[in-house]
């Protein structure tokens, strides 16, 4: 079991959990994730490791309450609570080198997992430019943390309540079009449509763009095949081959279709609060 050490509300439906997991904290690297299960009958869900402290033996998980398990976490997990299973670290870590100038794009809940990657880029000697996007000011998370590891930060909100009104691709396109700025690499984490748009924005400029894919996942170890994605015309598993892939090679249309496959069952399960056996 893993013990919840602290819990903090970052926005209306987003919680920050610091969890005691010394063996995971000892081994994990930026870009990796864990599989979490609350109880014997519970589902397994993937959560990216948003931070870690090797000395304290802790990992940080940022959770958006969008389904039964994440909602249950928000309602029942308090400091001192036990989580039955936290398995990890899983997935391939981010490739961290001194590339030169790196743009880190985080959208919504994706800002949290891009944070340790941006920090690692900075520690490797890169100039880090961060672009953060949210629907509105109240839903913007991890701004202070990202500013602490970035040389420049741009903030966009859909409604213009904070920062620049628009989308993350707006400042990204300006940077790419600026002849005085040489961007060597782009990292994007967020909603699928955001990552797709980032890829399409950077494609004409030929800048290597990496996307961390939040696919459907069951076991996280490559056995079920539920997380497969098409990358460069080949089937890859996000859990063991990723979660990060060359965004210019990802078949985002196929990814969106796969993400929608179980929407009906998810809605039915959610409507009964996870107490029925809708998915059997």
Cα angle for residues 59, 108, 207 (degrees, 5° grid): 95
pLDDT tens digit sequence for 39-59? 888 889 999 999 999 999 999
Strand, coil or helix: 7: strand
pLDDT band for position 277 (cuts 50, 70, 90): very low
Average pLDDT over residues 68-82: 93
pLDDT band for position 216 (cuts 50, 70, 90): confident
Q: Is residue 279 part of a domain?
A: no
Strand, coil or helix: 238: coil
Q: Is residue 270 part of a domain?
A: no
Least confident of 3-7, 169-173, 208-212, 223-227: 223-227
* Whole-angstrom distance, CA of residue 142 vs CA of residue 162: 14
pLDDT band for position 215 (cuts 50, 70, 90): confident
- For residue 29 the two structure tokens come to 């690297």
Q: Which residue has the higher pLDDT, 264 or 53?
A: 53
Q: Is residue 203 part of a domain?
A: yes
CATH number at residue 55: 2.40.30.10
Strands across the sheet containing 82-83: 82-83, 2-11, 14-20, 58-64, 45-53, 33-37, 85-90
The set of residues, in sequence order, having a beta carbon less than 8 Å from that of 102 and lying 6+ positions away, is 118, 121, 126, 127, 128, 129, 183, 184, 185, 186, 187
Within this chain, do residues 54 and 140 fall inside the same structural domain, yes or no? no
Q: What's the mean per-residue pLDDT of the chain? A: 92
Strand, coil or helix: 182: coil
Within this chain, do residues 170 and 191 fall inside the same structural domain, yes or no? yes
Within this chain, do residues 160 and 124 fall inside the same structural domain, yes or no? yes
Cα separation of the two ends of the chain: 27
Structural domain tally of the chain? Answer: 2
The domain of 224 spans 101-259
């Amino acid at each position: 079991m893993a013990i919840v050490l602290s819990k903090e509300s970052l926005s209306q439906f987003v919680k920050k959990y610091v969890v005691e997991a010394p063996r995971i904290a000892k081994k994990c690297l930026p870009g990796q994730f864990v599989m979490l299960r609350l109880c014997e009958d519970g589902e397994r869900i993937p959560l990216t490791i948003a931070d870690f402290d090797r000395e304290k033996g802790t990992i940080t998980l940022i959770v958006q309450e969008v389904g039964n398990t994440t909602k249950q976490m928000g309602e029942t997990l308090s400091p001192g609570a036990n989580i039955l299973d936290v398995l990890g670290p899983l997935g391939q870590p981010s490739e961290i080198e001194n590339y030169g100038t790196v743009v880190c794009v985080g959208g919504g809940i994706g800002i949290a997992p891009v944070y340790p990657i941006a920090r690692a880029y900075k520690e490797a000697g890169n100039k880090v430019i961060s672009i953060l996007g949210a629907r509105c000011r109240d839903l913007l998370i991890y701004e202070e943390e990202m500013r602490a590891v970035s040389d420049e930060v741009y903030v966009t909100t859909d409604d213009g309540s904070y920062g620049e009104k628009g989308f993350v691709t707006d400042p990204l396109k300006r940077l790419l079009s600026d002849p005085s700025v040489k961007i060597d690499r782009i990292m994007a984490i967020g909603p699928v449509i955001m990552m797709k748009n980032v890829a399409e924005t950077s494609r004409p400029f030929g800048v290597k763009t990496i996307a961390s894919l939040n696919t459907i996942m069951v076991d996280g170890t490559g056995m079920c095949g539920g997380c497969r994605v098409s990358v460069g015309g080949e089937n890859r598993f996000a859990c063991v081959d990723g979660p990060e892939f060359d965004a210019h090679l990802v078949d985002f249309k196929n990814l969106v279709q796969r993400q929608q496959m179980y929407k009906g069952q998810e809605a039915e399960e959610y409507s009964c609060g996870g107490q029925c056996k809708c998915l059997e």
